[in-house]
A = this chain, B = another copy of it.
Amino acid sequence: MKAQMEYGPVCPIPISEYPQVLMAHGGGGKLMHDLIENMFVPAFHNPLLGERHDGAVFNVGTARLAFTTDSYVVKPIFFPGGDIGSLAVNGTVNDLAMCGARPLYLSAGFILEEGMETEKLWQIVRSMQRAAEEAGVALVTGDTKVVDRGKGDEIFINTAGVGVIEHDLKINPKQVRPGDAVILSGDIGRHGIAIMAAREGLEFESAIESDCAPLNSLVRNLIDAGLDIHCMRDLTRGGLASALVEIAESSGHQIFIEETKISVRDDVQGACEILGFDPMYLANEGRFVLFLPEAQTERALAVMNAHLHGAGAARIGKVTDESFGVILKSRIGANRIVDMFTGEQLPRIC
């Protein structure tokens, strides 16, 4: 009843402007951001949601827990480097890792379309189990629904995850402060291009595979190294640009990054030029940004570079005490403001 009184019975998204849900409302960009800020956060108002983090963190008894969820609607369901099953496991494992939690248990909710090939479902289920074993988590509870032909798209998977936080760090966007270094864990854009290529039947000289990977063991190494981590965020829908804009907004500080420090593989860059995409906005499923005190940069990079999923990690910028926003120093030396896209360059990327 409180929500109703405080926010009124009127829909807070201007109906005249957006009377219907658009693809962009799920794209990880500005419209999705508006939907969350104007509808979900006020309706479900509570301090945990207010953290604007990849998951909720709370205590039960003596345990400090993280809890997160994502639905996966990627199309096509099989793509170079992964499938909807491995994505559904790694995506939720990574959201828990970004909270500084050790992922423990996952749930799986399947929404199947009548007529889906049973063999495909089995391939996906096996892929989920392999991904769970690699990440060291167990799929412990689930649900299956089937919808009529033409009312779904083969398979949608929701995973939720529970993890435990075993240290005293507070890791969330509000901990980011001027003087922090911004570290990117590797090259960007491969997931987006891999999906695009699979969807459109494009062929590049070398196969571009999704970077889909579990980040929890790398994050664990960072925590075990005693680093004073302020924030981590994995780069999914909306890419590096959207993640940084969100963190700048939540923290109230400016993030300054340099384009020349951001690693993009030549084949990904080439594909972007042909297709007219900006790698800054392309989705990734095994990359994250890390914020921690400048003085710990070298130690953090040493830990990351020693790990398979952080081999290409580099410092790409810093947090400044200017007013908030994201500034990119481009290859030619000019500074420009980085903003969110309205939606996403590619819908249904995850």
Name A residues whose Cβ lies closer than 8 Å to a Cβ of B: 1-4, 9, 11-13, 15, 18-27, 32, 35-36, 39-40, 43-44, 46, 48-49, 55-56, 58, 60-63, 65, 67-73, 104-105, 107-119, 121-122, 125-126, 128-130, 132-133, 138-148, 150-153, 156, 158, 160, 162, 164, 347-348
Contact = CB atoms under 8 A, between A and B. Distances in A.
Contacts of A128: 43-44
A49 B138 CA distance: 9
Contacts of A4: 126, 130
Contacts of A2: 133
A32 B142 CA distance: 12
13 contacts: A2-B133, A9-B126, A11-B119, A26-B144, A39-B125, A44-B129, A60-B164, A73-B111, A143-B158, A150-B150, A152-B153, A158-B158, A162-B162
Given A2-B133, A119-B11, A130-B1, A58 B105 contact: yes
A53 to B, nearest CB: 8
A68 B141 contact: yes
A12 B158 contact: no
Contacts of A162: 60, 65, 67, 162
B68 A107 contact: yes
Contacts of A111: 71, 73, 111, 156
B112 A26 contact: yes
A21 B153 contact: no
B105 A140 contact: no
Contacts of A36: 142, 144
A135 to B, nearest CB: 13
A114 B21 contact: yes
A220 B309 CA distance: 46
A105 B44 contact: no
Contact of A109 (B49, B67, B70, B115): B70
B152 A26 contact: no
A11 B107 contact: no
Contacts of A348: 145, 147-148
A100 to B, nearest CB: 15
Given A67-B107, A73-B147, A347-B148, A23 B58 contact: no
